[in-house]
């Protein structure tokens, strides 16, 4: 039976969606037929205490395309869930990072619903439930624990690529909002693990072969006329990147995508960016009358153009 918790705590962590009524339930579980796998075999590096057990529940006040979305809070045990392709496999895989301001995870809106599209496109989807909330705060969040989880997951996917019928050279990442920031962080911080190696998976590269970055935050510094966050260092090794943003985004200004796209161009990294006049923030893959919600069609064409999928 669901139990009601104090909404004050949840509202504080729902920075992107303040004012949402909350009914916290048990820990998040994937849909039937799918199982979560812990990404760490033993002790979790830089483990931090959280205020209570993992909870999940509907955020029903801020509807997206007329429907509520599911938040997950107090994640201390990161997991991955593998969703195999529904159609003929292309061999490509996408690791999905849900958004939520590094405080919660929008686990269906920017997680399992993204996997539905990925698997329908003939790719394997790996949904990462990374650690939140992030202890680090400030204008340029550098969430060490979340990035450790991302690095570990990319290595795990490559290590088990044969088992999961994945081409180890066609593994990308897709992130929304804070998850978009993490996709960028991983795209630019893959040379060295941020934790001691624990097994053979950590000998694998954690560089994504491509990155999909959707309405990201924490990339531009407003105090410096929206210069690129100095924590983000783009080089010629940064993977090809797809960017999408709405110019009226009230949470993460469009400059976050603009400065990163500019840095990619200067480094000679193939990049494609789509900007829309309207669209707001955190629309996920739910289609509405807004043209921006047709972005999966653009992404599908881009993945074909860089050789990750077939027509």
Give the best-scoring range by mean pLDDT among 16-20, 229-233, 257-261: 257-261
pLDDT at 16: 41
Q: Percent of the chain scored above 70 by pLDDT? A: 90
Tell me, what's the pLDDT at 24?
Answer: 52
Judge whether 187 and 231 are in contact, CB under 8 Å: no
The pLDDT score that the predictor gives to residue 59 is 86
Q: pLDDT tens across 49-79, in order?
A: 888 999 999 987 789 999 999 999 999 999 9
The pLDDT tens digits of the residues spanning 218-253 come to 999 998 899 999 999 999 999 999 999 999 999 999
Find the largest Cα–Cα distance for the chain.
55
Neighbour tally for 27: CB within 10 Å: 16
pLDDT tier at 176, thresholds 50, 70, 90: very high
Left if phi > 0, otherwise alpha if psi is -120 to 50, otherwise beta: which for 55?
beta
Chain segment 124-164, per-residue pLDDT in tens: 999 999 999 987 654 456 789 999 999 999 999 999 999 99
Please give the average per-residue pLDDT across 261-281, as a whole number. 98
Domains of the chain in sequence order: 7-305 (3.40.50.1820)
Nearest to 172 by CA among 250, 100, 92: 92
- The answer to whether 201 touches 152, Cβ cutoff 8 Å, is yes
Q: Which of 125, 145, 127 is nearest to 135 (CA)?
A: 145
Q: Which residues contact 16 (CB under 8 A, 6 or more apart)?
A: 99, 100, 101, 177, 251, 281, 282
| Burial annotation 38-74 (CB, 10 A radius, 16+ → b, else e) | ebbeeebbeeeebeeebbbbbbeeeebeeebbbbbbb
Q: What is the DSSP-derived secondary structure letter of residue 132?
A: B
């Amino acid at each position: 039976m669901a139990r009601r918790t104090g909404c004050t705590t949840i509202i504080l962590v729902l920075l992107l969606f303040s004012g949402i009524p909350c009914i916290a339930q048990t820990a998040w579980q994937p849909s039937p037929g799918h199982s979560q796998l812990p990404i760490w075999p033993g002790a979790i590096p830089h483990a931090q205490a959280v205020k209570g057990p993992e909870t999940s529940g509907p955020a029903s006040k801020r509807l997206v395309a007329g429907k509520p979305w599911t938040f997950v809070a107090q994640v201390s045990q990161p997991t991955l869930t593998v969703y195999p392709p529904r159609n003929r496999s292309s061999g490509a895989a996408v690791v999905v990072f849900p958004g939520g301001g590094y405080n919660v995870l929008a686990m269906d809106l920017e997680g399992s619903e993204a996997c539905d599209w990925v698997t329908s496109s003939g790719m394997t989807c790996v949904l990462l439930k990374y650690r939140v909330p992030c202890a680090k705060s400030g204008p340029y969040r550098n969430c060490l624990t979340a990035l450790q989880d991302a690095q570990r997951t990319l290595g795990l996917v490559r290590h088990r690529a044969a088992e999961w019928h994945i081409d180890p050279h066609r593994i990308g990442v897709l992130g929304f909002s804070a998850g978009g920031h993490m996709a960028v962080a991983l795209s630019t911080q893959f040379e060295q693990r941020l934790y001691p190696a624990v097994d053979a998976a950590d000998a694998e590269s954690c560089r994504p072969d491509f990155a999909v970055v959707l309405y990201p935050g924490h990339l531009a510094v407003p105090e410096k006329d929206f210069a690129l966050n100095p924590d983000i260092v783009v080089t010629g090794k940064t993977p090809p990147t797809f960017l999408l943003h709405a110019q009226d985004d009230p949470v993460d200004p469009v400059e976050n995508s603009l400065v990163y796209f500019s840095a990619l161009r200067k480094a000679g990294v193939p990049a494609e960016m789509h900007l829309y006049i309207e669209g707001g923030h955190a629309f996920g893959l739910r289609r509405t009358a807004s043209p921006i919600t047709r972005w999966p069609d653009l992404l599908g064409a881009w993945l074909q153009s860089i050789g990750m999928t077939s027509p």
